C-alpha cells in the first residue's frame, strides 16, 4: 500500500489549482508543438526550458509543466502524420503509414479519434507501470558504485549509437564530441581550467541548455531555410468528428499488446519512442498477416504505433528517474531540466524528494486525462494551428530560442555559441550524424569522468576494478553487444528487402 500513500502525496501536490493550470497549459502547448511539422518533443521542451526558468517556477511546477509538454507532444505528433502525411515528430512516423490513407479515404476524423484513444491507453498503462517499476529499480540502484555507473553511462552511449543510428562510427563520434565539449571549463577535482583557450566566457563550461536549444531548435530553422518549408499545405478536409466505438473496441488487444511492447522499448537505453512505434507496428502487421491490409488505412495500423510510442515515452522515464541515464533525446532534455533545478536523479531522488517524483507521476496521470479530452473533442483547434505558415512559425521559433537563452544567461557569447551549435546541428543532419549522443555526452560527460576517477581512487589506480562486480561485468557485456550486434543484425534484416543499400562495403 506504499504506492497508494505515495500517490496520495503526489496528487496532493499535483491537484493544487496552480499546478493543475500548468499541467493543462503544458498539454495544450505540447499538443501544438507535437503537431507542427519540424517541432517535436525534444525541441519543444528544449525551447521552453530557459523560459520556464526565467519565470522562476519552483522545481515541481517546472517539472509538471515540461513533462506535460512532453506527453502533449507525443499526442500531437499524430495529427500532422494523419492529415499531412508529414510526421509531426520522429516517433509519429509509423502513424503516417495507415493514418494518411485513412484520411484520404475520408476517415480523417476516425483516425484522429482512434489514435487519440490509443495514445491515452498507451500513456496510461505506461504511467502505471512506471509507478510500479521505478521504485523497485531505484532500490536496485543503491547497489551501484562508481565503477557500475561508469559502465552504465557507457551502455547508454553504446546502445544509443548502436540501435538508433545507421553508422556506428558516426554515433560513437557524436558521443565523443559531446564528451569532449563537456570537458571544457574548470576541472571538478583540481579546479584548474581545461580547454578554455584562455577565454573567460568558457571558464564555467558550456551550458548544456545552450547546446540543446542550438542543436535541436536553431538547426531546424536552418533546415527550413534550405528547403523553403516545402510540403506543409493542408491536403485533407476534416469532416464532423464522431467517435467510432466499434473500431476502438476492435483494437483493444492491439492497444494492449502495443502498450506493453512500447513500454519495454522505452526502458531500453537508447531506444526510446521511435523504436517503440516501429516495433509495435511491425508486430501488429505480422500478427494480422496478409489479410490485415496494413498500409491501406486500417484502424489497427493507427492504433498500434500510437499506443506504442506513447507507452515508450512513459517507459523512457524509468531509467531517467531511477539511474539518471536518459534513453532518448527527449528524456535527455528532461534530464537537463532536472540538472538545472539541482535535482539529482537516481535512487536518492525517490527517498529524499518523494514530492517531486510522485507529484510528477500524479501530474502525468492528470495530463493524460486532460490530453484525451483535448485531443478528441477539441482536435479541430489544433488542425487550425497546423495552417500557420512556416515563414511565420520558424522565425518565431528562432526568436523564442534567443529570448530564452538571453534571459537565462544575459550573455551575447552564449547566443553566439547557440548559433554555432545550430550550424553544427544542420551539418550533422546533412552528414547523417546523430545529434542526440552529443547532448547526452555534454550532459553526462562530467559525471562519467568523476565516476571513473572515483573508481580509480577507490582501487588505487587498478583498472581491473572497473570489471570487478557482477553488475558492472553485465553492463560492459551489454554495452559491447549493444554496440556491435546491430552491425550484424542490420545486414541480416535489411539484405532481403533493400539489397542496394545493404551491400557490404569491401
Partner 1 sequence: MISGDRLFGAVVVLGAGAYAAAALQLQTGFMSDPVGSKTFPLLVAGVSVICGLVMVIRPDDDPEWPTLRTLGALAVAVAVLAAYAYTLKPLGFLIPTAIAAGVLSYQINPRPMFAVLAGLGLSVGLFSLFKFVLGLGLVALPGG
Chain contacts with partner 1 (rule: CB under 8 A): 51, 54-55, 166-167, 169-170, 172-173, 175-177, 179-180, 183, 187, 189-192, 194-195, 218, 221-222, 224-226, 228-229, 389-392, 394-396, 398-400, 402-403, 406-407, 412, 415-416, 419, 422-423, 426-427, 430-432, 448-449, 452-453, 456-457, 460-461, 505
Do the beta carbons of residue 74 and residue 119 sit within 8 Å? yes
Torsion of CA 275, 277, 282, 287, to 10 degrees: 130
What three-state secondary structure class fits 186? strand
Where do runs of H (alpha helix) occur along 389-435? 390-409, 412-430
Cell of 438: 552529443
Q: Which long-range contacts (CB under 8 A, 24 or more apart) does 189-196 make?
A: 189/450, 189/453
Cell of 60: 515541481
Instruction: Return d(Cα 232, Cα 390) in angstroms, integer.
Output: 8
- The CA distances from residue 422 to 95, 97, 223, 257, 403, in Å, are 29, 31, 10, 39, 15
Rounded to 5 degrees, φ, ψ at 194 are -130, 140
Instruction: Return d(Cα 81, Cα 84) in angstroms, integer.
Output: 6
- Residue 448 CB, shortest distance to partner 1, in Å, is 8
Q: How many CA atoms lie within 13 A of 29 on its CB side?
A: 21
Q: Which of 187, 355 has the CB closer to partner 1?
A: 187
Angle, nearest 10°, between helix axes 108-140 and 354-375? 170
- Residue 322 CB, shortest distance to partner 1, in Å, is 25
Cell of 18: 496552480
Q: Which of 446, 8, 384, 473 is nearest to 207 (CA)?
A: 446
Q: Which residues contact 484 (CB under 8 A, 6 or more apart)?
A: 162
Q: Which residues contact 506 (CB under 8 A, 6 or more apart)?
A: none
Amino acid at each position: 500500500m506504499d504506492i497508494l500513500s505515495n500517490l496520495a502525496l503526489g496528487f496532493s501536490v499535483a491537484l493544487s489549482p496552480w499546478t493543475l493550470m500548468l499541467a493543462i497549459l503544458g498539454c495544450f502547448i505540447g499538443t501544438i508543438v507535437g503537431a507542427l511539422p519540424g517541432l517535436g518533443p525534444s525541441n519543444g521542451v528544449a525551447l521552453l526550458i530557459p523560459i520556464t526558468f526565467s519565470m522562476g517556477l519552483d522545481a515541481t511546477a517546472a517539472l509538471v509543466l515540461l513533462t506535460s509538454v512532453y506527453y502533449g507532444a507525443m499526442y500531437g505528433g499524430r495529427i500532422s502524420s494523419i492529415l499531412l502525411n508529414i510526421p509531426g515528430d520522429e516517433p509519429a512516423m509509423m502513424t503516417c503509414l495507415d493514418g494518411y490513407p485513412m484520411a484520404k479515404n475520408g476517415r480523417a476524423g476516425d483516425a484522429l479519434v482512434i489514435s487519440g484513444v490509443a495514445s491515452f491507453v498507451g500513456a496510461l498503462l505506461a504511467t502505471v507501470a512506471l509507478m510500479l517499476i521505478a521504485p523497485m529499480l531505484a532500490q536496485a540502484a543503491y547497489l551501484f558504485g562508481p565503477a557500475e555507473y561508469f559502465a552504465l553511462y557507457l551502455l547508454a552511449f553504446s546502445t544509443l549509437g548502436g540501435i538508433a543510428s545507421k553508422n556506428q562510427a558516426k554515433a560513437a563520434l557524436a558521443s565523443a564530441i559531446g564528451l569532449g565539449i563537456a570537458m571544457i571549463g574548470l576541472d571538478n577535482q583540481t579546479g584548474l581550467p581545461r580547454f578554455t583557450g584562455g577565454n573567460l566566457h568558457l571558464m564555467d563550461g558550456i551550458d548544456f541548455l545552450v547546446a540543446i536549444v542550438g542543436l535541436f531548435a536553431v538547426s531546424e530553422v536552418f533546415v527550413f531555410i534550405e528547403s523553403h518549408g516545402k510540403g506543409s499545405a493542408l491536403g485533407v478536409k476534416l469532416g464532423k468528428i464522431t467517435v467510432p466505438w466499434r473500431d476502438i473496441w476492435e483494437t483493444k488487444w492491439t492497444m494492449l499488446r502495443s502498450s506493453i511492447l512500447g513500454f519495454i522499448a522505452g526502458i531500453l537505453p537508447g531506444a526510446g519512442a521511435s523504436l517503440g512505434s516501429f516495433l509495435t507496428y511491425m508486430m501488429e502487421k505480422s500478427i494480422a498477416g496478409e489479410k490485415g491490409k496494413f498500409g491501406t488505412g486500417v484502424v489497427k495500423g493507427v492504433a498500434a504505433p500510437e499506443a506504442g510510442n506513447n507507452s515508450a515515452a512513459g517507459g523512457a522515464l524509468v531509467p531517467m528517474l531511477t539511474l539518471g541515464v536518459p534513453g532518448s533525446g527527449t528524456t535527455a532534455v528532461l534530464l537537463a531540466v532536472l540538472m538545472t533545478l539541482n535535482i539529482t536523479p537516481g535512487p536518492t531522488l525517490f527517498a529524499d524528494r518523494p514530492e517531486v517524483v510522485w507529484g510528477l507521476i500524479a501530474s502525468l496521470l492528470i495530463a493524460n486525462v486532460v490530453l484525451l479530452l483535448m485531443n478528441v473533442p477539441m482536435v479541430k483547434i489544433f488542425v487550425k494551428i497546423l495552417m500557420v505558415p512556416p515563414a511565420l512559425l520558424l522565425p518565431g521559433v528562432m526568436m523564442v530560442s534567443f529570448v530564452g537563452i538571453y534571459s537565462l544567461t544575459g550573455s551575447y557569447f552564449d547566443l553566439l555559441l547557440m548559433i554555432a551549435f545550430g550550424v553544427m546541428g544542420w551539418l550533422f543532419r546533412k552528414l547523417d550524424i546523430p545529434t542526440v549522443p552529443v547532448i547526452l555526452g555534454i550532459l553526462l560527460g562530467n559525471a562519467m569522468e568523476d565516476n571513473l576517477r572515483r573508481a580509480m581512487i577507490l582501487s588505487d589506480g587498478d583498472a581491473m576494478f572497473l570489471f570487478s562486480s557482477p553488475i558492472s561485468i553485465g553492463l560492459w557485456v551489454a554495452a559491447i553487444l549493444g554496440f556491435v550486434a546491430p552491425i550484424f543484425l542490420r545486414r541480416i534484416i535489411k539484405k532481403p528487402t533493400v539489397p542496394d543499400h545493404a551491400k557490404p562495403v569491401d
